[in-house]
Structure 1
Amino acid sequence: MTTRGTATRGTATRGSATAYEVAVRAEATLGEGPTWDAATGRLLWIDILGARIHSYDPASGRRTVRTTEQHIGAVKPRAGGGLVLNLRDGVALLDPDDTFSWLHREPVPGRRANDAAVAPDGSLWAGTMRYDEAPGGGTLSRITGDGSVEVVLDDVAVSNGTGWSPDGRLMYYIDSPTRRVDVLDFADGRATGRRPFVGIEDGAGFPDGLTVDADGCVWVALWDGAAVRRYTPDGRLDREIPLPTPRVTACAFGGPDLTDLYVTTARVGLNTPHPLAGSLLVVPRAGQGMPQRPFAG
């Protein structure tokens, strides 16, 4: 159940009265990748270093946890049922009957999966990074339902948030150490013309995960920034929601009407973790999200 009360609430700045609540109190080492599964009415999220897939049904409060055999960077629903997993050694499929199979396996020593997103054409855009976060050690690849793979970016450090504008003509992307959100033109499954969209100033943390709302605004989770920010399509900061723990990792809209913003957090690397570090938070009625297409595989 969602926890409410003054001890777990915060008020947003820049004119918004939105407050956060605790959806799932947890101690995820590296909570990440919230994704609303419309077919089942539940929120999926992961613990990358804990190798766990979490699900949460806000209507009933029911939670499940599934352990994976490898570190997991992302989980997304599939069009035919089941899940697609971005794992340490590649991309795998989990059928509704729990049958596991590799769609694309490419283990690289010292490298793991990170964030991923499903494009308007149903392809999976899956990121990787080195465990030591070495510059140039990560990639962003496009994987289709038949397992075809194309490396789109091969010189990134920490491949993170990816999302598309409502009309599908723009793709937003984060390589966290750059302290930027970039934007690319998107057409026919191709992303071109990468250029800066917004930069994150010193002292505000690093951009991590992102989501795009129905107005075309980009919401960015700030690692070591204890906040989520909303930028308008022209790159103007118009909202910031402060949160109770510094390592805010990703955000996504969920709920039956896609108006609740779910936010994942992490405990890893904190000398004195906040009691809510690693929990799943939610900002009710934060905005209007867009339906997310399932993976076409």
Structure 2
Amino acid sequence: MGGDSDFEEIFLGDLKPYYRVPGAIHSEGISFVKETGTLLWVDIFKGQVHKVEDIEHPESSHSSFSITRANYGKNSSVGYPPNPDNLKESMGCIFPIFNGASQHEIKQVLFGSKFGIGRLDFTTGEWEYVILYSNCPDLSTDRAYKLRSNDGNVSPDGKYIYVGLMSDFPFELEPIGCLLRVDLLAQEVELVWNCLLIPNAIHWDESDQKTVYVTDSLNFTIWKCPGGDLLKREELIDVKNSNNQSFESPEPDGSAIWFSKGTHSGYLFIAVWSTCKVQMFDLAHGKLLKEFILPKSTPRVSCCCFVGKDLFVTTANAEINDAIRRNTDKNGGCIYRIPNALDGDVPLESTKRQPLY
């Protein structure tokens, strides 16, 4: 890797955090909405969505909202599901709802949560489930209870939300995770990829709008699924091999996809858990082209997205799995902003489509 003249390492050891919410644990799922200039992300462990409405002034424009049983909508058409062990709510991924250019702020979001896809109203602070994963005929109630949402994305036509489920925090990590396809209009949930440990980021190729890229974190693999056929997947990137075996578990986590408007070449920017790195691969051959090495104080990089040329990166706290949190990690959970991660003239674009709903 080091002898490849096409490969570039960019060391960012002196980069300061862009913003950190006090007490942040596991920041993830970062997304940008061009129409309103809004930056959104979640804290998985705390079950929170965070919103920054002025990217240049996060301190004065940040707000957050928690989802708990206490603020569940009283008039929801979907009753709160049985939760005999009182398991915590969590939030793995977020899908902005934006209806028209005249709207100046995001008032609602959909999100992947503990038991299904939820909707949060920023105006009232209330939330509700709009569909439960237990509606899936191939997912038993007992199994669904042990799972939680991880990453997810919206199909190019907006018809489907794809969301990965993995073992919830209180349970042992098992290969009971899966990838679901959710149709909110038809109120249908379909299991499309079974027996995963940690399903993660999902993207579509811009050229045909069908080819799917799926991250399989604990197999250290990015799968390419030509034509969108998840059963005919082929390995595109071996992330462990691309880290020279220097790390025990360099897991590909959340990622951002970018296509050059001039050449239509595609690139995947992957946050590699436990390595302090975001690695850039080309989608044609899965070749590692560049890596951004963030400060060693935050090795748990978790997700990223572009706002124009700048790459925003989320991180997680070192104490995320500790039974007793001592709050000794004062940087974990912060957001980094890598300036000019892309070259040339890069327009502002939203990083997720709006789902049909």
- Same fold, TM-score > 0.5, yes or no: yes
Asked whether the 8 Å contact 1:210–1:219 carries over to 2, the reply is: yes
1:67-86 alignment runs, 5 A limit = 67-69=66-68, 70-80=89-99, 82-86=108-112
Give the residue type in structure 1 aligned to 2:311.
L
Q: CA deviation at 1:269?
A: 4.1
2:57 corresponds to: 60
Q: Is the 8 A contact 1:203 1:225 kept in 2?
A: no
Structure 2 residue 310 is the aligned partner of structure 1 residue 260: yes
Q: 1:137–1:253: structure 2 CA closer, same or farther, 3 Å change rule?
A: same
**Higher relative strand content:** 1
The answer to whether the 8 A contact 2:9-2:292 is kept is no
> Cα offset for 1:88?
0.2
Q: 3-state DSSP class of the match of 1:235?
A: coil
Give 1:134 deviation, angstroms. 3.1
Distance 1:272 1:92, change over 3 A: closer
Matched, 1:174 2:215: yes
More deviation, 270-279/100-109: 270-279
CA RMSD of aligned residues (A): 2.4
C-alpha change, 1:135 and 1:194, in structure 2 (3 Å) is farther
Would you say the 8 A contact 2:252–2:272 is kept in 1? yes
Structure 1: which 5+ runs fail to align?
1-12
Residue 40 of structure 1: which of 36, 41, 55 is its match?
Answer: 36
TM-superposed deviation, 1:172: 1.1
Q: Which amino acid aligns with 1:39?
A: E
2:129 alignment counterpart:
102
- Stretches of structure 2 that go unaligned for 5 or more consecutive residues are 1-6, 69-88, 100-106, 135-143, 261-265
Q: CA deviation at 1:169?
A: 3.2
TM-score, normalisation: structure 1: 0.85
SS at match of 2:313: strand
The equivalent residue for 1:118 is 154
Give, in whole Å, the separation in 2 of the partners of 1:96 and 1:277.
Answer: 26
Find the residue that maps to 1:50 and give its secondary structure: coil
What CA distance in whole angstroms lies between the structure 1 residues aligned with 2:17 and 2:166?
30
Write the distance in 2 (CA, Å) between the matches of 1:227 and 1:278.
15
1:251/1:262 contact within 8 Å kept:
yes
Correspondence 1:24 to 2:74: no
Partner Cα separation in structure 2 for residue 213 and residue 153 of structure 1? 25
Query: For residue 293 of structure 1, what is the aligned residue in structure 2?
Result: 353
Q: Is the 8 A contact 1:213 1:290 kept in 2?
A: no
Deviation larger for 55-64 or 28-37: 55-64
2:202 pairs with 1:162: yes
8 Å contact kept, 2:11–2:293 = no
Larger CA deviation: 72-81 vs 153-162: 72-81
Give the CA deviation at 1:46: 0.7
User: How many residues align structurally?
Assistant: 280
Of 37, 42, 46, which residue of structure 2 is paired with 1:50?
A: 46
The 1-side partners of 2:327 and 2:268 are apart by 31
Contact 1:36 1:42 in 2 (8 A): yes
Q: CA deviation at 1:87?
A: 0.6
CA distance in 2, matches of 1:247, 1:106: 29
1:237 equivalent to 2:297? Answer no
The range that moved more, 195-204 or 284-293, is 284-293
SS at structure 1 position matched to 2:259: coil
Note closer, same or farther for the CA distance 1:15–1:178 as it changes in structure 2 (3 Å cut).
closer
Q: 2:74 maps to which residue?
A: none
SS of the equivalent of 1:75 reads strand
Cα pair distance change 1:66/1:96, threshold 3 Å = closer
For residue 306 of structure 2, give the secondary structure of its aligned residue in structure 1.
strand
Give the residue type in structure 1 aligned to 2:8.
Answer: R
Q: Which residue of the other structure, out of 163, 177, 184, is the alignment partner of 1:145? A: 184
Distance 2:269 2:172 in 1: 24
Deviation at 1:93, TM superposition (A): 2.0
1:277 pairs with 2:332: yes
More helix by share: 2
Alignment correspondent of 1:7? none
Identity of aligned residues (%): 24
Q: Which residue identity lines up with residue 114 of structure 2 in the other structure?
A: R
